[in-house]
A and B are shown apart, each in its own frame.
Chain A
Amino acid sequence: MPSSRRLEREAAKRRRHRRGQAIAALSSVVVLGGLATLILTSPGWPEVRETFFNWEVFKDSFPDVAKAFWLDVKIFIVAELAILVVGLVIALVRISRSPATFPLRALSVIYVDVFRGVPTILLVFLIGFGVPALRLDGLPTDPVVLGAIALILSYSAYVAEVYRAGVNSVHRGQRDAALAVGLTETQAMRHVVLPQAVRRVSPPLLNDFVALQKDVALISILGPLEAFREAQIIEAQTFNFTPLVAAALLYLAVTIPTARIVDRLGGPEGAVR
């Protein structure tokens, strides 16, 4: 039989919980309702609804935009895999301490500085138009390939730094313990340090991939018919922006699930409760 003090405490806890829920509900209604009222009663709303949220245009354009989005997905998957590998290689070169790798180490520092420092859209432009202009045999000329290369170069610089931060965050005692059981430096990295580092940085890595999923749209400036470009073309034909909203929804359909995975990996602190 619980004591009366305990029953009182539990009742108080329930009251606090109910009050919290009521406040959350009320503030949501006020904020969202206020925003909705503001937008729906704005003088331009009827035209905005017609040009951005036109159901007929949405229905007609969605299949084409969705088909074009498949190209985004393909580019994204290939680029992501390449970035994971290239970023890791750059990070390992930069971490290495052997005198023999000095020139590579210097190059990796320059690489990260340059490719992280240039806006991605400029990189897509420079590589997409610059490389074919060289007219060298053997270099790719397909804008999809060139665009993907630009994204890989740019994101590998970020991802290399994420990996490096992860490796540096693994306590030195781990390397010491690995050496003490007789492992070489390379084995210590491979079996002890890297597995811990990668686990630790998977939330920020996935975070970068959410950004990459959106940035695939930058390739559109080179001409390939991906979702954003397809939506723009339809928009130009119909003078209606609804296809762009359709494209936005498609991007969200991949970025939001990824973001939820990031939350889960990052622990309960990141989740909306």
Chain B
Amino acid sequence: MSTSGGVVLELREVTKAFGEREVLRGIDLTVREHEAVALIGASGSGKSTLLRCVDLLEEIDDGDVFLDGEAITDPAVDAVAVRRRLGLVFQAYNLFPHMTALENVMLGERRAHGATRAEAEARGRELLARFGLAGREDDRPDNLSGGQQQRVAIARAFAGRPRALLLDEVTSALDPELVGEVLAAVRDLKAEGMTMVIATHEMSFAREVADQVAFLHEGRIIEQGSPDQVLAAPQQPETRRFLRRFQGITQSI
């Protein structure tokens, strides 16, 4: 596993509260080039908020987020330009229902990255084919299965050639038999060297694909390290408790 690349994303002392509720209470995290970092933790531990803050969909209260060394959370920075350098995949896909699969993938290329129609269409078709969706280009999202929709969403996020891809529990809304095809798409991106932050509940997948695992508990990363360290030999009692409970759930299914 390569950890030698330069730093792509860095979070320093990031805090975020919604009203009285403190969701992030000082997050420090470093993501290097070609690295995949898995964020694990209970629902409500702040995984989604962390990703949304990095993509500037939420404004952080304190601390800094750096993308390639630039403090993107500086209020003077143009958020739109930053989002064009990142990709975000949502738990509930959030495809545009009035557009076909191809149009979903093309929209950002056309309107945000200044591609011509022909360029955007060529890239859209290429990406859909790459994620196993050749022949579904003209389907609307509601004609696609959950797994297909999420693969369109991954293609859409990837289309803008992001520096880093943020994946927010991309398999949580899927029927169990559809999870595999989406994880295969993520695995494919990892093999290509995509830098990724992956919020996930799929522990075996985290172990397989992640270079680092960070355990989020009540808005703090309380344990971090290689998958073998964090998932197989956790040091913190909270991590142990979380993993034990998680295994219990997995086994009872």
Interface residues of A (CB under 8 A from B): 171, 173-174, 176-184, 187, 191-192, 195-196, 199
For window 69-119 of B, CB contacts with A under 8 Å fall at: 80, 83-84, 86-88, 90, 92, 94-98, 107-108, 111-113
Q: With A192-B96, A195-B98 in contact, is A179–B83 under 8 Å at CB?
A: yes
Q: Which residues of B contact A173 (CB under 8 A)?
A: 90, 92, 94
CA A182 to CA B88, docked complex, whole Å: 10
Contacting pair A182 B80 (CB below 8 A): yes
CA A179 to CA B57, docked complex, whole Å: 8
Q: With A173-B90, A176-B90, A177-B90 in contact, is A183–B108 under 8 Å at CB?
A: yes
Q: Which residues of A contact B111 (CB under 8 A)?
A: 182-183, 187, 191
Asked if B211 is an interface residue, CB under 8 A from chain A, the answer is: no
Is the contact region of chain A dominated by helix, strand, or loop, or is it mixed? helix
Asked if B55 is an interface residue, CB under 8 A from chain A, the answer is: yes
Q: Which residues of A contact B156 (CB under 8 A)?
A: 181
CA A177 to CA B166, docked complex, whole Å: 13
With both chains docked as a complex, state the minimum distance between the C-beta of B47 and any C-beta of chain A, in angstroms.
Answer: 16
For window 144-179 of B, CB contacts with A under 8 Å fall at: 156-157, 159-160
Contacting pair A191 B107 (CB below 8 A): yes
With both chains docked as a complex, state the minimum distance between the C-beta of B59 and any C-beta of chain A, in angstroms.
Answer: 13
With both chains docked as a complex, state the minimum distance between the C-beta of A186 and any C-beta of chain B, in angstroms.
Answer: 10
- For A193, give the chain B residue with the smallest CB separation: B96
Contacting pair B107 A180 (CB below 8 A): no
Q: Pick the contact of A177: B84, B95, B112, B159 (CB < 8 A).
A: B95
Q: Which residues of A contact B113 (CB under 8 A)?
A: 182
Between A and B, 16 residue pairs with Cβ closer than 8 Å are A173-B90, A173-B92, A176-B52, A177-B90, A179-B57, A180-B55, A180-B57, A180-B86, A181-B83, A181-B107, A181-B108, A182-B111, A182-B160, A183-B107, A183-B112, A196-B98
CA A199 to CA B88, docked complex, whole Å: 27
With both chains docked as a complex, state the minimum distance between the C-beta of B155 and any C-beta of chain A, in angstroms.
Answer: 11
Contact with A along B28-64 (1 / 0, CB 8 A): 0000000000000000000000001001010000000
With both chains docked as a complex, state the minimum distance between the C-beta of A98 and any C-beta of chain B, in angstroms.
Answer: 14
Q: Which residues of A contact B83 (CB under 8 A)?
A: 179-182
CA A183 to CA B95, docked complex, whole Å: 14
Q: Which residues of B contact A171 (CB under 8 A)?
A: 94
Contacting pair A180 B98 (CB below 8 A): no
Contacting pair A174 B90 (CB below 8 A): no
Contacting pair B108 A176 (CB below 8 A): no
Q: Which residues of B contact A182 (CB under 8 A)?
A: 80, 83-84, 108, 111-113, 160
Q: Pick the contact of B157: A174, A176, A181 (CB < 8 A).
A: A181
Contacting pair A176 B94 (CB below 8 A): yes
CA A187 to CA B108, docked complex, whole Å: 10
Q: Which residues of B contact A178 (CB under 8 A)?
A: 96, 107
10 residue pairs, one from A and one from B, having the closest CB atoms: A182-B112, A181-B108, A182-B84, A177-B94, A180-B88, A173-B94, A182-B108, A195-B98, A184-B80, A182-B83
- For A192, give the chain B residue with the smallest CB separation: B96
CA A179 to CA B55, docked complex, whole Å: 9
With both chains docked as a complex, state the minimum distance between the C-beta of A143 and any C-beta of chain B, in angstroms.
Answer: 42
Q: Select the residue from B52, B87, B107 with max chain A CB neighbours within 10 A.
A: B107
CA A195 to CA B159, docked complex, whole Å: 23
CA A178 to CA B110, docked complex, whole Å: 12
Contacting pair A180 B112 (CB below 8 A): no
Q: Which residues of A contact B92 (CB under 8 A)?
A: 173
- For B106, give the chain A residue with the smallest CB separation: A181
List 16 extra interface pairs beyond A177-B96, A181-B107, A181-B112, CB under 8 A.
A171-B94, A174-B96, A176-B52, A179-B80, A180-B57, A180-B86, A180-B87, A180-B90, A181-B83, A182-B84, A183-B107, A183-B108, A183-B111, A184-B80, A196-B96, A196-B98
